[in-house]
Amino acid sequence: MNLLDIRNLSIELISNEQNILAVDKVSLSMKEGEVRGLVGESGSGKSLLAQAIVAVLDDKWHVHADRFHWRGIDLLRLSMPERKAILSRDIAMIFQEPMACLDPTTTVGEQLAEAIDSSQLSGFFWQKQQQRRAAVIKLLHKVGIKNHSACIKSYPHQLTEALCQRVMIAIALARRPILLIADEPTAAMENTNQGQIFRLLSSLNQLKNMAILLISHDLENITHWTNTITVMYSGQFVEAGTTEQIFSKAMHPYTQALVDSSPMANQHLPAKSRLMTLPGSIPILQHLPIGCRLGPRCPRAQQDCVKAPSVSNFHGHKVSCHFPLLPSPKAKKSKLQKTKSQKSHKPSRVPND
């Protein structure tokens, strides 16, 4: 059974003049103990999607989904407080900019202590304070902070960015979540710290069988740590598959461009030659193109691309494109036919439910 199953989730920004569809029908599913990467340029709605999953978006964002299941529970049928209770019990999130996500007027120790669920503590109420403190120290050790007494007493502005990030991870782990959403956990961090954080996350995944949704703009970096990857562009679903499929057999022109733009995958390129990049930049929210939002930048765009493509499933490798890059000659043939006779031979289409 899927841990998390989201189908066609849309997020709309409610404003006075015109509502903006920031995230347009994105599907995401996760299995127990899976590490999934969520990749896209900045502004592609990855963080929004993550915040919608943990239900912390404020009133001006309107979230709508066709299906939103968590471990078999249909969350859409539950009221908001019930949904919130289930989500905050099982899902934890590490936010971007750890410094801004810690209350500047409260000590780190207090903020950690309040994240610990009192059901984890046994004993009478006069023992709870002590147990809570012991649990805080244990959590800090778990994320690799050895000098716990100094850390507990200090305020967020007295710690470095990397330490704050570790504290944020400790807070996220305090509830013993089943799914951890890490939103750019290593942004603005040096390489050594990045490695430590990723190793910490992957050890948690292996020891505790904790599923991790790793959000990043850096495709090349997270391929070392993920089992599966979902790619987004400008609020639309692009491609999903195993890391191997995405990195070596990308079907969507955008994913292909992402892979091509990374220097690691292009070591055969002669020195001082240009890296492949897509022309242009990601569209702003006020001027989103209709249909496939990659259209204006896509090297393979044709007239059909003014209509939004539906998701095709090639043995678990899902892609949302009218003209995917198909590797085998047979598939190429079918694609040629399709261009002639308008998508009649698409392999196993996923119904839009």
Partner 1 sequence: MLIFTLRRLSLFVFTMLLLTLLSFSLCFLFPGDAVINISGAINATPEQLIQLNESYQTSRNIFFQYLAYLTHIMDGNLGLSMASQSVIGHEILNLLPATIELSIVALLIAMFVGIPLGFVAAIKHNKPADNIILSVSMLGYSIPVFWLGLLAILTFSISLGWFPSAGQISLLFEIELITGIQFIDILLSDSPYKWQAFSDATAHIILPACVIAVAPATIFIRLARTSMIEVLETSYIRAASAKGLTFQQIIFRHAIRNALIKIIRHVGLQFANLVTIAMVTEVIFSWPGIGRWLIVSIDQRDYTAIQSGLLVLSCFIFVVHILTDFIYAALNPLARGVKYGS
State the residues that interact with partner 1 by CB under 8 A: 51, 54, 56, 58, 88-89, 92-93, 95, 97, 100-106, 114-115, 117, 155, 157-158, 168, 171, 174-175
Which residue number, 155 or 225, has a Cβ lying nearer to partner 1?
A: 155
Residue with tokens 């890391």: 243
Q: How far is the CB of 155 from partner 1 (least distance, A)?
A: 4
Q: How far is the CB of 123 from partner 1 (least distance, A)?
A: 21
Which residue number, 154 or 261, has a Cβ lying nearer to partner 1?
A: 154
Assign 3-class secondary structure to the chain.
CCCEEEEEEEEEECCCCCCEEEEEEEEEEECCCCEEEEECCCCCCHHHHHHHHCCCCCCCEEEECCEEEECCEEHHHCCHHHHHHHHHHHEEEECCCHHHHCCCCCCHHHHHHHHCCHHHCCCCHHHHHHHHHHHHHHHHHHCCCCCHHHHHHCCHHHCCHHHHHHHHHHHHHCCCCCEEEEECCCCCCCHHHHHHHHHHHHHHHHHHCCEEEEEECCHHHHCCCCCEEEEEECCEEEEEEEHHHHHHCCCCHHHHHHHHCCHHHHCCCCCCCCCCCCCCCCCCHHHCCCCCCCHHHCCCCCHHHHCCCCCEEECCEEECCCCCCCCCHHHHHHHHHHHHCCCCCCCCECCCC
Q: How far is the CB of 266 from partner 1 (least distance, A)?
A: 36
Q: How far is the CB of 226 from partner 1 (least distance, A)?
A: 22
Q: How far is the CB of 102 from partner 1 (least distance, A)?
A: 6
Which residue number, 88 or 131, has a Cβ lying nearer to partner 1?
A: 88
Are the C-beta atoms of 35 and 225 separated by less than 8 Å?
A: yes
Q: How far is the CB of 270 from partner 1 (least distance, A)?
A: 45
Q: How far is the CB of 95 from partner 1 (least distance, A)?
A: 5
Q: How far is the CB of 281 from partner 1 (least distance, A)?
A: 26
Which residue number, 178 or 258, has a Cβ lying nearer to partner 1?
A: 178
Q: How far is the CB of 182 from partner 1 (least distance, A)?
A: 12
Are the C-beta atoms of 43 and 282 separated by less than 8 Å?
A: yes
Residue 30 CB partners (closer than 8 Å, separation 6+): 2, 3, 4, 5, 36, 179, 211, 213
